């Protein structure tokens, strides 16, 4: 509880400023305004946990944005979105928790009229026969190194052109193989969002291959979200490796 109160106290920019990165950057204008609004609504008192999360995430975003090791737009955008979510949640919780409860007036309830309903006739339907799907057998995995997408988008970046041309050349040299395009994400953000985004990115790669002469009959596309990580999602380098596209050669 003491840790939560300490984090909530850091919502004041004059407090803790000697130990935390500056949040006075344009990328965080909306986040600062949202935290001030939740504070004004009484979040420090009535929603301290959500307020503390908002402040802590804002400072984490400030650290990432000002990190001299490099600029990572996708990670920064996720942190900013999380800080806004916590700030808005703190504001809404404060409005509810700070409001004075209205007195409860108990009225005598009339006795309910019990109506006996006849039992319905239950018709048992036979269970449908479900055919088992054939298992997918992967004979080979072709890693597409250098395939990148715009932040929170399925659009390929110009830097991906070389890697995609190599993929086209490989598939043309091996016209007899069937391929599943598998796209993966790291574990940051909601799992449902990562799943949908990886699906879109897999289809984007498939469209590129079809537009460059590869028959769509040979291709399928599937997004696996944050499943099957190949590196540690707790590190920046590990997350970069987990955001990947692979070609699975199928039997």
pLDDT tens profile 167-219 = 999 999 999 999 999 999 988 989 999 999 999 999 999 999 999 999 999 99
Residue 27: pLDDT band with limits 50, 70, 90: confident
Interval 18-23 mean pLDDT: 68
- CATH 3.30.1330.60 in the chain is located at 138-250
Q: How crowded is the C-beta side of 112, counted as CA atoms within 13 Å?
A: 3
- 31: exposed, middle or buried (C-beta count within 10 Å: 0-12, 13-18, 19+)? buried
Tokens of 146: 């250098």
d(CA 224, CA 182): 7
Measured from the Cβ of residue 117, the count of other Cβ atoms closer than 10 Å reads 5
What is the predicted pLDDT for the residue at 103?
64
Q: What phi, psi does 144 have (nearest 5°)?
A: -95, 90
Residue 20: pLDDT band with limits 50, 70, 90: low
pLDDT tens per residue, range 105-147? 766 777 787 777 778 887 778 878 766 666 779 899 999 999 9
Q: Does an H or E element contain 225, and which?
A: none
Tokens of 232: 């540690």
Interval 8-37 mean pLDDT: 69
Tokens of 176: 């007899």
Beta strand extents in 102-196 (DSSP E only): 138-143, 178-183
d(CA 160, CA 208): 11
**Could you say which DSSP state residue 132 is in?**
P
CATH number 3.30.1330.60 given to 138-250: yes
């Amino acid at each position: 509880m003491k840790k939560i109160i300490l984090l909530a106290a850091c919502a004041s920019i004059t407090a803790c400023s000697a130990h935390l990165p500056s949040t006075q950057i344009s990328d965080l204008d909306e986040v600062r305004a949202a935290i001030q609004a939740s504070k004004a609504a009484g979040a420090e008192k009535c929603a301290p946990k959500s307020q503390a999360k908002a402040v802590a995430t804002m400072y984490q975003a400030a650290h990432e944005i000002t990190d001299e090791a490099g600029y990572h737009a996708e990670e920064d955008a996720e942190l900013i979105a999380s800080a806004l979510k916590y700030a808005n949640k703190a504001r809404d919780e404060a409005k509810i928790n700070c409001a004075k409860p209205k007195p409860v007036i108990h009225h005598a309830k009339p006795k309910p009229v019990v109506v006996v309903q006849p039992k319905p006739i239950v018709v048992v339907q036979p269970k449908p026969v479900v055919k088992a799907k054939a298992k997918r057998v992967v004979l080979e995995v072709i890693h597409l190194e250098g395939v990148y997408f715009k932040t929170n988008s399925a659009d390929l970046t110009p830097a991906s052109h070389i890697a995609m041309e190599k993929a086209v050349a490989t598939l043309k040299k091996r016209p007899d193989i069937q391929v599943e395009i598998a796209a993966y994400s790291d574990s940051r953000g909601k799992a449902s969002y990562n799943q949908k985004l990886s699906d879109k990115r897999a289809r984007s790669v498939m469209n590129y291959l079809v537009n460059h002469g590869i028959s769509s009959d040979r291709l399928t596309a599937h997004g696996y979200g944050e499943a099957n990580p190949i590196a540690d999602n707790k590190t920046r380098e590990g997350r970069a490796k987990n955001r990947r596209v692979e070609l699975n050669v199928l039997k």
